[in-house]
Structure 1
Amino acid sequence: MAFGSNSDTVPSKVITSSLAISAPCPTAADMSYAEAPRSSLAFGDQPCAARIGEPEMIRRPLVLAALAAVVATVLPLIAPAALAQEVGRAQRVVNTVYGGGLLYRLQTGQPVVFNERISTAEASATSIALGDGSFLELGPQAEVTLDRFVVDSRSGVTGVVRMTRGALRFAGTPVPKRIDIETPSASIGIRGTILSVRVTAASTEVEVTEGTVTITAAGQVLQASAGQFVLVDGPARPLVRQPTPAFRQEMQRVSSLLGPIPVVRAAAPTAPNPSGTEPVMDASGRLLGTLGRRADGMLEVRDLTGRLRGYVDPVRNQTLDASARVIGPGNLAPTLLGGR
């Protein structure tokens, strides 16, 4: 059948109904509702007032959808302390460290909160001071989640650290606490302990510096004391052995970025000048550099250019070089600075 024949013609009644305008329909700018009743003007089969209101009816859901999209984008970027309980603060941030997963760059002094995921990039590290004075430190390419953390002024911090990769150092206070480090292959129970942990997809390595830890893996429970190193290799039971070269290398990287592991005491000895720095001199009285007290009680040894040369640990009564290797007992700051 040819297009345009009489049999294909749309009935004139329909054409008239859909196209005929009984009266011009002004825009909202041309009239107000006071000038004409809603039913006085018509556009086809619909009142003009309804036609005038259509753009607003269309715009409203679009505006609401746009606002919802903005809120969904901006809300995760709000400072985390405003959204959850603070469990500690970043005391030190070296290079690139992320909080909230990968949502924002963690800065020194910024709070960390309950259930927050913290990750570090290559050649990066962070030291987090928890609410009770304990320190949680992460080395390069590490990732942890502060799960189920509670801060109490009397009982300290309790919670679970879920660790998926990298190196971690923990220095606890003498205040009783219960913190567990959960890794893909083991669970480590901490009770006021100083320890270091290295985690890969296949293994967990733990070195206890002070106190005791309980390590659970493959259905076995092992208690490790100060000076012991424990390896959990995949599904195997935990074994006490010598530290692996990979563990030593990783902890050396952490020390090169953050210095020696903090030592936390209920009452740390006071430095001669706890509010600032003190000079370091040789036997002849020549100025070699300075000693500066850190928040954790460790003393930093710096030369006259400000370069870090090592540390003096007043709690353990020993001196360490800049890579945190012990070089001898007592205060050897003049030796570090080239004096006698």
Structure 2
Amino acid sequence: MPPTRAALTAAAALAWAVFAGPALALDRPAVGHVKTVKGEATVSTDGQVVSARPGTPLHAGSVLSTRGASSMGVVFGDNTLMSFGPNTVLTVDEYLYEPGAGKLRLGTRIGKGTLNYVSGAIARLQPDAVTVKTPSGTIGVRGTQFLLKVEED
């Protein structure tokens, strides 16, 4: 007996929800990408964890992690550069780069590890739009380069 139209429709809907649902969660523009990786690093977005490789996209909400003696470098759409040393965890809380509309924002949070930061266009155009939160305070970036180390408790 061939499947009914209702059964086929239900099967198609289930397949779409299972396979397309997770992809749609990331169906938004990337805000940057992984440039370099040495060792073991991951990018977690919307609950999906992937091994970081050059070209891996970054989104607002992505959590970037390195393990052991690993390192990773990323570049954002405004050419902000960030490099992470061993055992680092950084979250991209916010990213908005629409210079024509005056909408600029880069907010990150580092829980542990090391960060080498080089300002991009957002910090040059609107310095108060960039922040890096740490467990002990918030750094306001005013168009510069800095190195930060956050010790584990």
Relative to the length of structure 2, the TM-score reads 0.75
Question: Using the alignment, how far apart are the partners of 1:167 and 1:175 within structure 2?
Answer: 23
Instruction: For residue 86 of structure 1, report the CA deviation from its aligned partner.
Output: 2.0
Q: List runs of 5+ in structure 1 lacking aligned partners.
A: 1-27, 30-54, 203-340
Instruction: For residue 62 of structure 1, report the CA deviation from its aligned partner.
Output: 8.1
RMSD: 3.3
Question: Using the alignment, how far apart are the partners of 2:103 and 2:141 within structure 1?
Answer: 13
Contact 1:120 1:140 in 2 (8 A): yes
Larger radius of gyration: 1
Instruction: For residue 148 of structure 1, report the CA deviation from its aligned partner.
Output: 1.6
Question: Using the alignment, how far apart are the partners of 1:109 and 1:156 within structure 2?
Answer: 25
What is aligned with 2:141? 190
What is aligned with 1:179? 130
Question: Using the alignment, how far apart are the partners of 2:90 and 2:50 within structure 1?
Answer: 15
Task: Describe the SS at the equivalent of 1:159.
Answer: strand
Letter in 1 for 2:137: A
Aligned pairs for 1:253-332 within 5 A:
none
What is aligned with 2:77? 131
Letter in 1 for 2:18: V
**Per the alignment, do residues 118 and 79 of structure 1 end up closer, same or farther by CA in structure 2, a change over 3 Å counting?**
farther
Residue of structure 2 aligned with 1:94, choices 21, 27, 38: 38
What is aligned with 1:168? 115
Relative to the length of structure 1, the TM-score reads 0.37
Instruction: For residue 146 of structure 1, report the CA deviation from its aligned partner.
Output: 0.8
Superposed CA deviations along residues 235-288 of structure 1, whole A, max 9, x for unmatched, are xxxxxxxxxxxxxxxxxxxxxxxxxxxxxxxxxxxxxxxxxxxxxxxxxxxxxx
Superposed CA deviations along residues 185-206 of structure 1, whole A, max 9, x for unmatched, are 211111112111112344xxxx
Contact 1:93 1:126 in 2 (8 A): yes
Task: Describe the SS at the equivalent of 1:67.
Answer: helix
Aligned pairs for 1:224-243 within 5 A:
none
Instruction: For residue 135 of structure 1, report the CA deviation from its aligned partner.
Output: 0.7
**Per the alignment, do residues 64 and 133 of structure 1 end up closer, same or farther by CA in structure 2, a change over 3 Å counting?**
closer
Letter in 2 for 1:106: A
Instruction: For residue 136 of structure 1, report the CA deviation from its aligned partner.
Output: 1.1
Residue of structure 1 aligned with 2:65, choices 103, 119, 128: 119
Question: Using the alignment, how far apart are the partners of 1:111 and 1:62 within structure 2?
Answer: 33
Contact 1:138 1:167 in 2 (8 A): yes
Q: Which of the two has greater strand per residue?
A: 2
Instruction: For residue 98 of structure 1, report the CA deviation from its aligned partner.
Output: 0.9
* Higher relative contact order, structure no. (Cα contacts within 8 Å, ≥ 6 residues apart): 2
Q: List runs of 5+ in structure 2 lacking aligned partners.
A: none
